[in-house]
């Protein structure tokens, strides 16, 4: 069984049909990601409807809203297993004030994770040093660096803190040598696989809207890249998901 550890099911044209196709392809669990207040109820509704779908609640770095009280208000929802998607995206924020605001919002959410004991889902682009510095300020927090495209230095620092690293279909792209290099070095017990659908469909589906069924193509590519047996790889990444997000199995501890 495989897990799509990061997907935006609420943004698909037909989430129910996409989930049916994914289950037929051997995908057994799905984590639907919250990114802002305006669409969080859509995320929770998908998770409420499907027993194999869980949700996260958080604010994406591209969302410039400073009142994060809505996040705490939804953490008691029975399908919520993590905080996020949160983090830093300096590729899309070149203004110094915007970058400082992103850091402040990320820090607020890290503090909430520390208070609640929930794991986090981190988005990071072109902000290696700042991301590393912030997560190191909260050594008790665990989580995953999702859709990882950054340096081994950041990945290694996160691993030292107990984080997982998630790889998306980008690893199959021709110009993604750095992603392949990092993926080959990651310990198998810290690796997750995701689609980040509806974006970033892996080869051979590139150019199409991405969907959870395609995580199997990314997993097969990664297993071959690393020299892992496919079944062993799939089982390990699924186990990693449950260990990182214990609420999936009904355990409140993080």
DSSP characters for 53-119? EEEEE---TT------HHHHHHTTSTTEEEEEEEEEETTS--SHHHHHHHHHHHHHHHHHHHHH---
Q: Nearest-CA neighbor of 36 among 3, 15, 2, 10?
A: 10
Residue 53 main-chain phi, psi, to 5 deg: -115, 130
Which segments of 13-53 does DSSP mark as H helices, in order?
A: 15-24, 40-49
Residue found by looking up tokens 């400082």 in the block? 100
pLDDT in the model for residue 161: 98
pTM for the model stands at: 0.97
What token pair was written down for 242? 């449950």
pLDDT in the model for residue 251: 62
* Cβ–Cβ under 8 Å, residues 194 and 147: yes
pLDDT in the model for residue 223: 98
pLDDT in the model for residue 94: 84
pLDDT in the model for residue 253: 53
How far, rounded to the nearest angstrom, does the alpha carbon of residue 66 sit from its chain's CA centroid?
22
Question: 5: part of which helix (H) or strand (E)?
Answer: strand 2-7
pLDDT in the model for residue 254: 42
Residue found by looking up tokens 């859509």 in the block? 42
Which residue ranges make up each domain of the chain? 2-249
Please tell me the CATH superfamily of domain 2-249, with its number. Answer: Metal-dependent hydrolases (3.20.20.140)
pLDDT in the model for residue 92: 84
pLDDT per residue of the chain (254 residues) written in tens, 0 to 9 = 899 999 999 999 999 999 999 999 999 999 999 999 999 999 999 999 999 999 999 999 999 999 999 999 999 999 999 999 999 999 988 899 999 999 999 999 999 999 999 999 999 999 999 999 999 999 999 999 999 999 999 999 999 999 999 999 999 999 999 999 999 999 999 999 999 999 999 999 999 999 999 999 999 999 999 999 999 999 999 999 999 999 998 766 54
Residues 113-138: b if buried by 16+ CB within 10 A, e if exposed: beeeebbbbbbbbebbebbbebbeeb
């Amino acid at each position: 069984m495989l897990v799509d550890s990061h997907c935006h099911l609420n943004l698909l044209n037909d989430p129910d049909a996409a989930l049916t196709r994914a289950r037929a392809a051997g995908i057994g669990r799905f984590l639907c990601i919250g990114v802002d207040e305006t669409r969080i109820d859509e995320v929770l509704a998908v998770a409420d409807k499907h027993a194999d779908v869980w949700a996260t609640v958080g604010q994406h770095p591209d969302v410039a809203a400073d009142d994060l009280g809505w996040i705490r208000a939804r953490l008691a929802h029975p399908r919520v297993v993590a905080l996020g998607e949160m983090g830093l995206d300096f590729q899309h924020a070149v203004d110094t004030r915007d970058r400082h605001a992103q850091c402040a919002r990320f820090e607020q959410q890290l503090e909430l994770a520390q208070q609640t004991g929930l794991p986090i889902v981190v988005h990071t682009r072109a902000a290696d040093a700042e991301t590393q510095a912030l997560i190191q300020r909260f050594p008790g927090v665990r989580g995953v660096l999702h859709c990882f495209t950054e340096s081994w230095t950041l990945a290694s620092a996160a691993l030292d803190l107990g984080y997982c690293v998630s790889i998306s279909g980008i690893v199959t792209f021709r110009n993604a040598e750095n992603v392949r290099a990092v993926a080959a070095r990651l310990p198998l017990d810290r690796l997750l696989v995701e689609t980040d659908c509806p974006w970033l469909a892996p080869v051979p589906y590139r150019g199409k809207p991405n969907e959870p069924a395609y995580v199997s193509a990314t997993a097969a590519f990664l297993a071959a890249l690393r020299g892992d047996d496919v079944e062993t790889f799939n089982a390990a990444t699924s186990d990693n998901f449950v260990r990182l997000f214990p609420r999936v199995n009904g355990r409140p501890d993080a």
